[in-house]
Amino acid sequence: MDKKLAYIILIILLAYNTVLRSQQRFPKPEFESGYIYPEYQVTEPRNPVLEYIDVFVLIMVLGITTYITLKKRSRKYVIWISVFTLAYFGFYRQGCICPIGAIQNVSLALFNESYALPLTALLFFLIPLVFALLYGRQFCAGACPLGAIQELTGIYPVKIPKSIEVLLSSVPYIYLALAILFAATDSHFIICKYDPFVGIFRLNAPVTMVVFGCLLLLAGLFVNRPYCRFLCPYGVLLGWLSRFSGKHVTITPEECINCKLCKDSCPYNAILPSTIDEPKERKVTSRSRFIAFLAFIPIFTVAGSIITGYFSDDLAIVHRDVRLANEIRAEELKGIPATSQQAVTFRESGETLAVLFEKEETIKSRYNRGAPWAGAFLGFSLGIGLLSLSIRTERKDYLPHKGKCFSCARCFEYCPVHLDKTKKL
């Protein structure tokens, strides 16, 4: 009896030992030659204080750009500040963190309690927006490394037809809606993943992204700032705020003389011509058109939310857990072997199917709630966009379009009033 108990205790002890020390199969060596364990040298990450210096630099650059475009009115200095931005935020900071990507941090923090948003990310997101509300898109003009690399390489500006311009500039809205949806559901940060120029800044990236970046730069030689105009999701937000900016860049420093010289100077189709030569439209026509397009807005909004709501389960496959659940389900039900690394690890981990499918359900229900909002946003934006296209405003001056103007200062040199004032005539 005692013997049995002793054996049982021995077995328990052995089992305990193997479980606890399963990693340590071989005993620690007892050195006799006075060997000392080498000390491990690890490298520290970047000092967090430097992140706040980045915020300070951002504010400084925004301030200087505002001064240059509004007071100094000089294209030359805009180029120089772009060079600095490209060097600092681009090649030194290597494109991270940037306000464009910070959209995702902010939406992740808004919809996920567990994520602690770094203060620097919030500041990087908000500061350029505040500047846009006050002075227009100064961030695009001088503080954005992606804008700077395109501004500096846009050598032969070619104007593209307005219809194509309008059509393509709807892409950023879709990009923004999807980016927020995917970030809010903690699926993917697509803005960072498909950042075309970060590979150029780092001189190291997946080959597809380098090719994409180089193609954009090549296209940008002629169609200036292709990323800013037809992709950038942050530009959408900046555009909205800039539309209502307090003080915005003007083409002429004083009164516009309607000489039309600046008409073709803007590569971004962002100059609104004056309407003094155009015949006035009958008020009844314009008013009925306005009301018709206004009525479209709720229709588009509802339609958009229904369409994306319908596809919400398809959108959910962006999340890795949903993909894994689909793969495992196919294996369970149809016998298709799940061969991906994720599936193999899942099988090895011994996690139960119920837990996985529960996770999948949670993610899908989040998509079911979020996707209609994304669609509603897209429909609403489409409605507003069409409405704004239908309005004919009367202008006595040639003015920059506050939403689209990057404050790049190209048009100043075309204005005789500006040249006269700066004694260049």
Q: Residues interacting with another protein, by CB under 8 A?
A: 23-29, 31-33, 35, 37-46, 48, 51, 94, 96-97, 101-102, 104-106, 109-110, 115-120, 122, 126, 129-130, 133, 188-189, 192-193, 198-199, 202, 204-206, 240-241, 243-244, 246, 320, 341-342, 344-346, 348-349, 393
Alpha-carbon gap, residue 16 to 393, rounded angstroms? 82
The interaxial angle of helices 119-135 and 99-111, nearest 10 deg, is 120
CB 216 within 8 A of CB 375: no
Q: What is the DSSP letter of 246?
A: S
Shorter beta-carbon distance to another protein: residue 64 or 103? 103
Give min distance, CB of 400 to another protein, in A.
15
Rg (CA), the chain: 29
Q: How far is the CB of 253 from another protein (least distance, A)?
A: 22
271: part of which helix (H) or strand (E)?
A: strand 271-272
CB of residue 133 to another protein, shortest distance in Å: 6
Q: Which residue has the tokens 């089992």?
A: 15
Shortest Å, Cβ 201 to another protein: 10
What is the nearest approach in angstroms of another protein to the Cβ of residue 35?
5
Tell me whether residue 288 or residue 388 sits nearer to another protein (CB atom). 388
As a whole number of angstroms, the distance between CA 310 and CA 179 comes to 18
Report helix, strand or coil for 272. Answer: strand
**Nearer to another protein (CB atom), residue 70 or residue 122:** 122
> What residues contact residue 418 under an 8 Å CB cut-off, 6+ apart?
73, 251, 252, 253, 412
User: Can you tell me the distance from the alpha carbon of 290 to that of 284, in angstroms, rounded to the nearest whole number?
Assistant: 10
Q: Using the minimum distance from each CB to another protein, give the nearer residue, 204 or 365.
A: 204
| DSSP H helical ranges for 351-415 | 353-390
Contact 322, 360 (CB under 8 A): yes
Nearer to another protein, 70 or 133 (CB): 133
Rounded least distance, CB 77 to another protein, Å: 28
- The residue among 187 and 224 lying less far from another protein, judged by its C-beta, is 187
> If DSSP codes are grouped into helix, strand and coil, which group holds residue 50?
helix
Choice between 24 and 163, CB closer to another protein: 24
Q: Rounded to an integer, what distance in angstroms lies between the CA atom of residue 57 and that of residue 49? A: 13
Run of H or E including 94: none
* Backbone torsions φ then ψ of 195, nearest 5 degrees: -70, 115
Q: How far is the CB of 421 from another protein (least distance, A)?
A: 27
Residue 265 or 390: which CB sits closer to another protein? Answer: 390
Min CB(425)–another protein separation in Å: 34
